[in-house]
Amino acid sequence: MATSVTSILERIAAAGKTYEGNEIGSRELLIELGRDLVATLEIPSEFLQRSFWAEPALSAHCKFAVQVKLFQHLQDAGSAGVNPSDLAKKTGVDVVLLQRIMRHLIAMKVVSFSNGRFLGTPLSHGLAADNYQKSIDFCYDVARPSFNGFPEFFKKTEYKLPTSLTEGPFQTAHGTELPFFPWLVTTPPHLDEFDAFMSAYRAGKANWFDQGFYPVAERLVGGFDGSNNEAFLVDVGGGRGHDAQQFVAQHASHPGKVILQDREPVIASIQDKRKLPFESQVHDFFTPQPIKAARAYFLHSIIHDWDDENGIRILENLKLALKPGYSRLLLNEIVLSEEKPTIAATSMDMMMLAHMAVRERTEAEWKGILEKAGLKFLKIYNYPGVAESVIEAELEA
């Protein structure tokens, strides 16, 4: 154990130097090494206390904080902080109850206390933003009950994988027969909370087209044929265009057209389409792709929402539009590591297991689904600290 701890500490020291030098991925490496250190030093009783007392209480206190705007009040107080009685008045919470909850938030490093006053931290200030407040609501009210129901659900199903969109841990937890997304639509404000959660989930992380991630200039701009007014990038199932807008902003000199595709209700909900720096088009990815011979077809977290059969259907409908030796297929998806899985990847896999009866895939599984769709796997591009990779493929010769 001593040797292991010494090794971890040496790696932490080295990672600390790279962090001070702003090296990409050094922050995430330090967090992972911190987890390694805790896992090495923590004894079983401490593990139980943290996992089954401290962390569940923390998530409940964060939900409480949303209800009484606790993080906002701390943010408003700034560096001066706020004393317990004043914070109790602002939140409407009994001062003794508030102090007990705040002590746990302090112990869990979310807020701090000095000279008789509560103070916010960079973390609590970040959590005060609207999208994180709604994310807390979604995670506590929607996701957590599904996870809590895992043991009983799998016991009843004799520990078999759920295969139905209407008979999984989520439906059992929430007493519904609806699939996840239709349920969100019929139970406001959960759809709005989920949208906020998805925006928060990727916040602060590199985009697939950032420098050092997928080489846009080398793999897409180079060799682009614009002689027939061909499309440069087609964002398939791209929602309201968040990815497309950021791509165009960062690669303003891109050649050719950028086209956003999604279902009619989604495209109809986009405001001021004429002002957008890209074209929009109604398209259902379960039907043949109408835009032929584009340089790249991009799908962000689309295939992971579906089982293999439906994922292959999506890819087969897209395959018909690919130009051999020219068109790239880019899947921005999680690729699970079997040897060193990350919390970001496995927690999303658990989300899919709980709510969608589907899964995140390993590299071998991604290669398998591409092969069955008649596509040739080319390469996987990764970026330090980012859960999703870019899986590049093309038409099988």
| The predicted structure's pLDDT at residue 1 | 47
Residue with tokens 């409480």: 64
Judged against a pLDDT cut of 80, whether residue 23 lies above it is answered with yes
Please, which contacts does 159-165 make with residues 24 or more away whose CB atoms are closer than 8 Å? 161/353, 161/357, 162/353, 162/357, 163/307, 163/357, 164/357, 165/356, 165/357
* CB-based contact 106:113 (threshold 8 Å): yes
Of all residues in the chain, the percent with pLDDT exceeding 70 is 99
> Residue 2: what pLDDT?
52
What is the model's pLDDT at position 334?
A: 98
Mean pLDDT of 347-353: 96
pLDDT tens, 167-202? 999 999 999 999 999 999 999 999 999 989 988 988
- What tokens were used for 265? 């209700």
The reported pTM is 0.91
For range 379-395, the mean pLDDT: 96
Q: Is the pLDDT of residue 159 over 80?
A: yes
* Torsion sign across C-alpha atoms 54, 56, 62, 66: negative
Say how far apart CA 201 and CA 195 lie, in whole Å: 10
Query: Which tens digit of pLDDT belongs to each residue from 250-301?
Result: 998 999 999 999 999 889 988 887 788 899 999 999 999 999 999 999 999 9
Three-class SS of the chain: CHHHHHHHHHHHHHHHHHHHCCCCCHHHHHHHHHHHHHHHHCCHHHHHHHHHHHHHHHHHHHHHHHHHCHHHHHHHHHHHCECHHHHHHHHCCCHHHHHHHHHHHHHCCCCEEECCEEECCHHHHHHCCHHHHHHHHHHHHHHHHHHHCHHHHHHHCCCCCCCCCCCCHHHHHHCCCCCHHHHHHHCCCHHHHHHHHHHHHHCCCCCCCCCCCCCHHHHHHCCCCCCCCCEEEEEECCCCCHHHHHHHHHCCCCCCEEEEEECHHHHHCCCCHHHCCCEEEECCCCCCCCCCCCCEEEEECCHHHCCHHHHHHHHHHHHCCCCCCCCEEEEEEEEECCCCCCHHHHHHHHHHHHHCCCCCEEHHHHHHHHHHCCEEEEEEECCCCCCEEEEEEEECC
pLDDT at 68 over 70: yes
Q: How confident is the model at residue 384 (pLDDT cuts 50, 70, 90)?
A: very high
Single out the residue of 287, 303, 298 nearest to residue 356, CA to CA.
303
Average pLDDT over residues 58-73: 98
Mean pLDDT, rounded, of the chain = 95
Q: Tell me: the pLDDT tens digits for 317-335?
A: 999 999 999 999 999 999 9
Token output for 123? 């973390």
Q: Name the residues annotated as catalytic.
A: 304
Interval 342-347 mean pLDDT: 95
pLDDT, one tens digit per residue, over 205-240 is 999 999 999 999 999 999 998 887 789 999 999 988
State how far the Cα of 8 lies from the Cα of 42, in Å rounded to an integer.
Answer: 14
Residue 203, pLDDT score:
87
Residue 125 sits at φ, ψ, to 5 deg, of -65, -40
Rounded Cα distance between 164 and 357, Å, is 6
Contact by Cβ (8 Å): 349, 360: yes
Q: What is the 3-state secondary structure (H, E, C) of 55-75?
A: HHHHHHHHHHHHHHCHHHHHH
pLDDT for 274 equals 78
